[in-house]
Amino acid sequence: MALDPETLRNDLVEALRHCEASTTPEIRQERLQAVRQILQNWKLVLEGPNAEDEENALPETLFYISGVKLRGFLTLLHGLAPIANTLGVTLYRANLRIHLSGEGREPSDWVVRRHQIRYLGEAGNGNPLEDVDEDEEYDFENIMIREFEIRRLTTVAGSSLDEFVGVHINENVIIPENAAEGLGEPDEEEHDTPEGIYGSIHLEHWYNRYIMVFAPRGIVNVGQA
């Protein structure tokens, strides 16, 4: 059975995203069955004779960052639970704390403001145009640090796996790919502009997200660097 890591990740994300979308109960069941087929194929490969093929070795665990709010997340989780149980695939839920740090993209008006100040010959002389609004919102230009920390990991029934609290997950076992760049509004943020509109912007964002953890053989592997 041909199944490579990239295909597994992409197909599983696509199937889960389809399940999260609003639809009729009938169509939703069809979409859940698509997830079932992917999980079954994944488990069969892991338990098959080619499981140790290093070139196309499938991950033991994938951590899925949901694209919906808590209610939709729980609906999908409980829809998947009986499927996972039938297949012998272990399904967990987790609370994830995500930290992003890096360079911010300067607001578009900063260039204009610098030109105006220089034209007036008032650079560094306290022109109000030099002031940086403390409530200014910035986007990342370059994310330099991505950290994914488990705050809580439980079975679907609610039993905690305390040994994983505080453990950091490597991005290579997180789906969707490049999930850090599509997280939306942060739950907390800080920025630093030590040189005002003349210098760089340093950003720190934190996000709290619910995730599903799929482990076909019950092995929770947080990934390799």
Q: Are 18 and 37 in contact (CB under 8 A)?
A: no
pLDDT score recorded for residue 122: 58
Q: Which residue type occupies 189?
A: E
CA distance 55 to 62: 18
pLDDT score recorded for residue 107: 76
CA distance 142 to 105: 8
pLDDT score recorded for residue 195: 73
Q: What is the pLDDT of residues 175-203, one digit of tens each?
A: 998 888 888 889 999 988 877 767 788 99
pLDDT score recorded for residue 225: 47
pLDDT score recorded for residue 77: 95
CA distance 48 to 164: 28
Please give the backbone phi and psi of residue 151, each rounded to the nearest 5 degrees, phi first.
Answer: -95, -30
pTM for the predicted model, two decimal places? 0.86
Q: Are 100 and 49 in contact (CB under 8 A)?
A: no
pLDDT score recorded for residue 8: 95
Ranges of residues in the chain whose predicted pLDDT is under 50? 225
pLDDT score recorded for residue 160: 93
| Domain range summary for the chain, segments of one domain joined by + | 59-215
